[in-house]
A and B are shown apart, each in its own frame.
Chain A
Amino acid sequence: MQTYRSQVKIVVDVLTSANAPDADAEGVGITHLLRRANLSYTRLLGILSRLVDHGLLNETNLGKTQKYRISDKGLKFLQAYGEFEEFTESFGLRV
């Protein structure tokens, strides 16, 4: 049976994709995020805009393209999410 991702899980997937170890100094591009987070272009743009507004991602403008890098706040969010995920899984449930 297919399981759907919750909104927060999508956010986590985008942040995890932006935290790629192979990213350069400015971060990762839209194509990389689209491929890793498995989202449509318009949906991803909306999420990226909100994540930048909340300070979870840092955006760098490179002329016509933008690059995204996870911020310290974003890393803290991922860490906290991981802890709650572990807590939920200890009861045999999924976040």
Chain B
Amino acid sequence: MLGESFLALSESGLHLAGGLVGFSVARVARQGYKETSSPALYRLSIAFILLGFGLTMTGVTGLIEISSFGVFALVLSLTLSVATILETGGYFFLALSQGIKARSSANRGFLAGLAIPTASVFTLLRSLSFIFLLYGMLETLLSYFERKKRVTLMIASALGLLALGEFTRWLALFNSGVSPLLLISILLKLFGFFMLYTPVLKFSSFKGIPQFANL
């Protein structure tokens, strides 16, 4: 019981940290969009705003769930569904950005569709997130092979870890009680979010420039 609540608390903490990473990346992307009017940065900012809200809502819902012992079960369940939809939406926009870039740069062909398991809306959304993350990771990896930028490889690895984390989390949904898969999922996502934060680090002291969006 202690192990279960500890894992639940860790997962909620991780989601809150993920939300913070999401909002941080969204802030830089939004600032970049305001300065350069780049559609890629626009899609990136939408993706990370959705991820930020989705992950934060999941984290807060998890914390309330732990402390209230199922008093607000229905409300929490609905909030969690909305949060998962937002999160999946964020991963979708991330995959969409990669998809648009892939189609405009070369005819590499769209990745083959993956089978979507149908158990419930929650598991469906989790599996969708996994597919979007996997697609984002593969496209980012292809970009790395084109430009050989180390930070791009880091982002591809981050998306890969998050995809693997989503997959193990999805597998853990089929096990009741404390599952080692849940712990693995938390650790994978923790490293994933940490690596995703890398490009934002150098922007922490960035004050911005006068806006020239209307040039």
Contact = CB atoms under 8 A, between A and B. Distances in A.
B143 A92 contact: yes
Interface stretch (A17-25, A35-43, A60-68, A76-84): A76-84
Chain B interface size, under 10 / 10 to 19 / 20 to 34 / 35 or more: 35 or more
B28 A87 contact: yes
B34 to A, nearest CB: 10
A31 interface: no
B41 A95 contact: yes
Interface of A is mostly: helix
B213 to A, nearest CB: 8
B44 A8 contact: no
B111 interface: no
Given A92-B101, A92-B144, A8 B37 contact: yes
Interface of A: 1, 3, 6-8, 11, 50-51, 54, 56, 73, 76-77, 80-81, 83-84, 86-95
17 contacts: A3-B104, A7-B215, A76-B209, A77-B212, A83-B202, A83-B206, A86-B151, A87-B199, A87-B203, A88-B41, A89-B143, A89-B149, A90-B198, A91-B44, A91-B152, A95-B36, A95-B40
